Amino acid sequence: MGYKKVQIKIQTDYSEADIRFLIFKELGFKEFSFQIEKKSLDARKKSDPHWLLSLVIFSEQLQGESYAAPEALEIPYKKRTEKVIVIGSGPAGFFTAHVLQQAGFNVTILERGSELKKRTKAIKQLENRGEFTDQNNYAFGEGGAGTFSDGKLTSRSKRISVERSFILSEYVKAGAPEEILYMSHPHVGTDNLKVIVSNLRTKFLENGGVILFDTQLEDIVISENRINKIVCNTGEMEADHVVLATGHSAYDTYRMLINKGVQFRTKNFALGHRIEHEQKLINMAQWGSENLPGVKAAEYRLTTKTKSGLSVYTFCMCPGGKIVPASAFAKKSVLNGMSNYIRNGKFSNAGCVVGIHPDMLLGHKCSPLEILDWIDKLEEKFYTFSNSYAVPANKASNYMKKNKSKKVPKGSYPLGMRSAPLFDMVPEIVSNALIEGLQNFSKKLRGFEEGVLMGLESKTSSPIQVARDKDGRCTGFDNLYFVGEGSGYAGGIVSSAADGIRCAMGLSSK
C-alpha cells in the first residue's frame, strides 16, 4: 500500500466527512484511509480562522514506498538483579521508574505525599476552607505537580521527540484523548490527568513495582562516592541506584542535599505574577469573536525584551482555567494555573514573569542556599500581606502607573483577593521590567492591560541546577542521579518526564 502526505486547510468545526471530501478532491478516488499527523490553529487572519491538518493518506491506488513509522523508544530488556529507588512520583520520577521497570530493574518509588484520593481531599480542603496540608497540596502528592495542573503537554525541545512520542502514547493508553498525539498544543487538563496517573500507577504495580506513599526522603548516607543508604521518615533503605526526582518545590530536600555535598549552582529563573482576564476578552482579541465553533478557548504567548535586556514573557497560559494556591509549604503564597479538559471557565490566566539571575536579585554573587532563602522570604511576605491564602492583587492598568487599585474585580482564585501595591512587593528591577512588558503586551493583545495581576509566580523554573552528566548522574557520585524539574535541566510535564526517561535509558544500557 502506498501513501501520500498532504496538508489541508479546513473550517474550525469540521467533521470527518469534510476531511474525506477534501482528500477525495485531492486524489480523485474514494478508497483510502488517513491519519492526522499534526493539527494546528491558524487564526492570524481574523476573517478566516481555520485548522491546518497534516495528513498521511494510505491507499492501494497510491504508488511508492510503504510508510515508515517515526522512530520509537526501544527499551533494552534483560533479567537484572539491581534495585533502584526513585524518589518522587511526578512526571520525571514516574517515567524513570516506568522505563527502568520495562528494562528489567526492581524499582521502588518513594513519595512524601499520599495517593491520589487522599491528596484530592486535601486540595479540596485548602480551596474550600483555606486549610493547608503539609504533604498533600498542589506541589506534593501522587503524580507530583503534574497532576492538578493545566495539563498542557507542549515542549519546545526538538531533542526529545522520541521520548515525547513515548510519553504521549503511554498517556493515551492510560486514558488521554488520542488527539494529543497530533495537536500542536496538546492539552489534557486535571480531570484527565487524575485518570492517567491512577491508571499508570495500577499498571506499574501489576508489573511488580512498589510505591511507598507518605514516605519522605530525609537524609542520605554517603561512603566513598556512593549512597550507602537513604533515611526516610519511615526508616532506612538500601539500593544499587538512587534517582532523585523531587521537583523544584522541595526546598527542604534541596537543603539536605547541599549540606551533604551534592553540588549545585545558581541559574536564571523567572519571577513575577499571574495575570487574569475574562476569557471572552482573549477570544475577541485573538479571534475577533467571543466564540469559534470547534475550538475551546483562545490562547496567547507574549514575549519581549526590556531596554536593559531582560526577557519578560507570559508563561503557562491556562485558557478557561483557574488560578490556584500552589505552595508546597504552609504560610507561603505561590500561584499557578490549572484547567479541566473542556477549558470552559469564565477566565484565562498566565504567568507574567521576568527571566532573571539570582545574583541580580540579591545584588551580589549568591550561593544556591542564599537564593532559596530569599525566595522563601518573598513567598512568606505575600502570605503575611493578608495572613491568609487570600492573594494580593493589582489591576494591570494601575500596576503600570505604580498605583494600588481601589478595588479588584472578582476572579477565579478560590481563596479571595486583597487589593495591594503589588509593584512594591517585588524588587524594583522585577516590577520595572514587568511594567515595560505589560506596555508591550497591551499593544500586541487588545485589552491585555484590563487584566488583574495577582500574587507571586516564583515557581516557573528552578533557580538552581545540580552538577550532573547527561544521563543525570550527580558529579562526584557513582550511584546518585537527579532528574526532572528539580535538577534544573527540565521544566514542564513532558520535558521532566523525558529527562527521567533519558536517565533510565542510560542506566538500562549499562
Ligand X SMILES: Cc1cc2nc3c(=O)[nH]c(=O)nc-3n(C[C@H](O)[C@H](O)[C@H](O)COP(=O)(O)OP(=O)(O)OC[C@H]3O[C@@H](n4cnc5c(N)ncnc54)[C@H](O)[C@@H]3O)c2cc1C
**All 3 cell numbers of residue 292?**
469559534
Q: Which is nearer to ligand X, 247 or 345 (CB)?
A: 247
Chain positions contacting ligand X, by CB under 6 A? 87-93, 110-113, 138-141, 144-146, 148-152, 216-217, 245-247, 249-250, 253, 316, 324, 326, 336-338, 484-486, 491-494, 496
Distance of alpha carbon 201 from alpha carbon 115, whole angstroms: 10
Provide the minimum distance between the beta carbon of 400 and ligand X in the complex, in angstroms, as a whole number: 27
Q: Where are the beta strands (DSSP E) in 150-253?
A: 210-212, 217-223, 226-232, 235-237, 241-244
Count H helices, E strands: the chain? 12, 22
Handedness of CA 54, 60, 64, 69 (dihedral sign): positive
Provide the minimum distance between the beta carbon of 509 and ligand X in the complex, in angstroms, as a whole number: 22
Report residue 245 CA to chain centroid gap.
14
Q: Which is nearer to ligand X, 216 or 442 (CB)?
A: 216
DSSP secondary structure, 76-118, as one string:
-------EEEEE--SHHHHHHHHHHHHTT-EEEEE-SS--HHH
Q: Which is nearer to ligand X, 113 or 358 (CB)?
A: 113
Handedness of CA 430, 431, 436, 437 (dihedral sign): positive
Q: Which is nearer to ligand X, 292 or 326 (CB)?
A: 326
Helix (H, G, I), strand (E, B) or coil at 187: strand
Q: Which is nearer to ligand X, 32 or 383 (CB)?
A: 383
**All 3 cell numbers of residue 353?**
514573569
Report residue 407 CA to chain centroid gap.
32
Q: Are 484 and 75 in contact (CB under 8 A)?
A: no
Provide the minimum distance between the beta carbon of 116 and ligand X in the complex, in angstroms, as a whole number: 11
Provide the minimum distance between the beta carbon of 244 and ligand X in the complex, in angstroms, as a whole number: 8
Provide the minimum distance between the beta carbon of 353 and ligand X in the complex, in angstroms, as a whole number: 14
Distance of alpha carbon 460 from alpha carbon 338, whole angstroms: 14
Q: Are 471 and 84 in contact (CB under 8 A)?
A: no
Provide the minimum distance between the beta carbon of 155 and ligand X in the complex, in angstroms, as a whole number: 7
Q: Which is nearer to ligand X, 55 or 211 (CB)?
A: 211
HSE at residue 96, side-chain half, CA atoms within 13 A, is 34
Q: Which is nearer to ligand X, 211 or 426 (CB)?
A: 211
Q: Which is nearer to ligand X, 246 or 279 (CB)?
A: 246
Provide the minimum distance between the beta carbon of 324 and ligand X in the complex, in angstroms, as a whole number: 5
Closest CA to 129 of 118, 121, 119: 121
Dmax (CA) of the chain: 72
Provide the minimum distance between the beta carbon of 328 and ligand X in the complex, in angstroms, as a whole number: 8
Provide the minimum distance between the beta carbon of 144 and ligand X in the complex, in angstroms, as a whole number: 2
Q: Which is nearer to ligand X, 111 or 436 (CB)?
A: 111
